[in-house]
Amino acid sequence: MQIHLIAAARPNFMKIAPLYHALKREDWAEPVIVHTGQHYDLNMSDAFFTDLKLPAPHIHLGVGSGSHAEQTGKVMIAYEKIIYEKQPDLVVVVGDVNSTLACTIAAIKVNYPIQNSKLKIQNCGRPVVAHLEAGLRSFDRTMPEEINRIATDALADFLWTPSPDGDANLVKEGVDKGKIERVGNIMIDSLEMMRDTIEDENTHLEFGLNKNEFGVVTFHRPANVDNVEILSSLCTSLISISKMIPLVFPVHPRTRKNLEEYDLMPNLAECGSIILTEPLNYIRFMSLVFNCRLAITDSGGIQEETTYLGIPCLTMRPNTERPVTVTEGTNRLCSHTEIESMALDSLKIDRIQRTPPDLWDGQTAHRIVESLKHFRSRQ
């Protein structure tokens, strides 16, 4: 069975890596890595694939950057040609980027005879489509990712969810319960797969920092970094927080551009307790997270990783598509006006000893393989 694993950028590769390895161990599965090339990632180096124990992508679409419509259209056009040429039995899309939706639409709309496949949908001359990380909702349709999530879940045949809220969201949207299966959080599989390498890295020592005595900062969302007033307020807050605890701030290219344009970079650079770095690869960044006291972010993934590790996390967003990190984890949402006071409160708390959310255990890829075996046995 030929299985296409779709990836568009570094976080996608983190999600497909555990599944690739789990499928590679099965004699009935032929996993194929498809890199759409939607994002150019400076840290997408040979070492990255070596760390993940992944081969180079088997198929590279090379679509490049562009507007949402341009990216989606380019991926659909390029991947449709691949589908007809390779005729995969299963297409697995992950996350919520433009490529997730584009490859879903391309796969759903083709029509060709699938020879000897044991993974067929009735009256369906096309590959089966599965969405990994299905059901996540921020309920904020101004986010392009939210549109991608909703549309992908409406079209896909299998919906593999990470948490109970994902199941509930899909049911509320009228999705057939038979399509929904909770398999857990695939990013925890990646973290556990690479734990030994991460723990050996000790990135914090390069910056002269002690374990549990510094914070990690990341910001990249347009709502936070494109508005000069919000970004200026954020910088002021970070300088104040750094007087309580040193901060390491790997600066996203979009964030750096705006910091320089708004003349905010000098104040941060002159602050001796804020360490500004270039973006870090996964191993080095997660080494910082493993050893930090506090994370301040607007990222989606860090909310999950800090919840799993029991590290206080402040997420500067009005909503999150991962509410389980708030209800069961260590994450708290905040605005740019609240971040300083909430950081002070968080520093009064050390690592939080909690049981991770159900099925966040490093076995998600195994459950997906078992799900596919069960489906094949019914055909």
Tell me what pLDDT residue 355 has: 87
pLDDT score of 152 more than 60: yes
225: domain CATH number is 3.40.50.2000
Burial of 218 (0-12, 13-18, 19+ CB in 10 A): buried
- Which pLDDT does position 42 carry in this prediction? 45
What are φ and ψ of residue 54, in 5° steps? -105, 145
The answer on 199 and 132 residing in a single domain is no
Domain that holds residue 116: 2-184+360-377
Catalytic residue, chosen from 220, 252, 366, 374, is: 220
Is the domain of 174 the same as that of 234? no
pLDDT band for position 69 (50/70/90)? very high
Sheet architecture: strand order including 215-217 = 274-277, 247-250, 215-217, 294-297, 313-315, 331-333
Is there a single domain that holds both residue 205 and residue 103?
no
Kindly state whether residue 190 falls inside one of the protein's structural domains: no
The per-residue pLDDT for 267 is 94
Do 15 and 62 fall within a single domain? yes
Average pLDDT, stretch 215-221?
A: 95
Q: Within a domain: residue 224?
A: yes
Q: Indicate if 157 and 25 belong to the same structural domain.
A: yes
pLDDT band at 238 (very low <50, low <70, confident <90, very high): very high
Q: What is the pLDDT of residue 258?
A: 97
Q: Is residue 328 part of a domain?
A: yes
Do 75 and 180 belong together in one domain? yes
Is 64 contained in some domain? Answer: yes
Percent residues over pLDDT 70 in the chain:
93
- Has residue 103 been placed in a domain? yes
**pLDDT attached to residue 318:** 94
In a domain, 352, yes or no: no
d(CA 296, CA 313): 6
Asked whether the predicted pLDDT for residue 190 surpasses 50, the reply is yes
Tally of structural domains, the chain:
2
Give residue 116's pLDDT.
59
309's enclosing H/E stretch is helix 301-309
pLDDT in tens, 90-118: 999 999 999 999 999 999 999 876 665 66
Check whether residue 44 and residue 115 sit in a common domain. Answer: yes
Are 267 and 222 part of one and the same domain? yes
pLDDT tens-digit readout, 2-47: 999 999 988 899 999 999 999 999 999 999 999 998 665 545 556 6
Distance CA 358, CA 176 (A): 23
Q: Are residues 61 and 98 in the same domain?
A: yes
> Is the pLDDT assigned to residue 264 strictly greater than 50?
yes
Residue 353 inside a domain? The answer is: no
Residue 140 has pLDDT above 90, yes or no: yes
CB 91 within 8 A of CB 103: yes
Residue 338 in any domain: the answer is yes
68 is catalytic: no
Mean pLDDT of 370-376: 90
The predicted model gives 212-238 an average pLDDT of 96
Size of the chain in residues = 379
Q: Are residues 264 and 137 in the same domain?
A: no
Are 69 and 138 part of one and the same domain?
A: yes
For residues 312 and 373, membership in a common domain is answered with no
DSSP code at position 310: T
Question: Is the pLDDT at 55 greater than 80, yes or no?
Answer: yes
pLDDT for residue 295 is more than 50:
yes
pTM of the model: 0.91
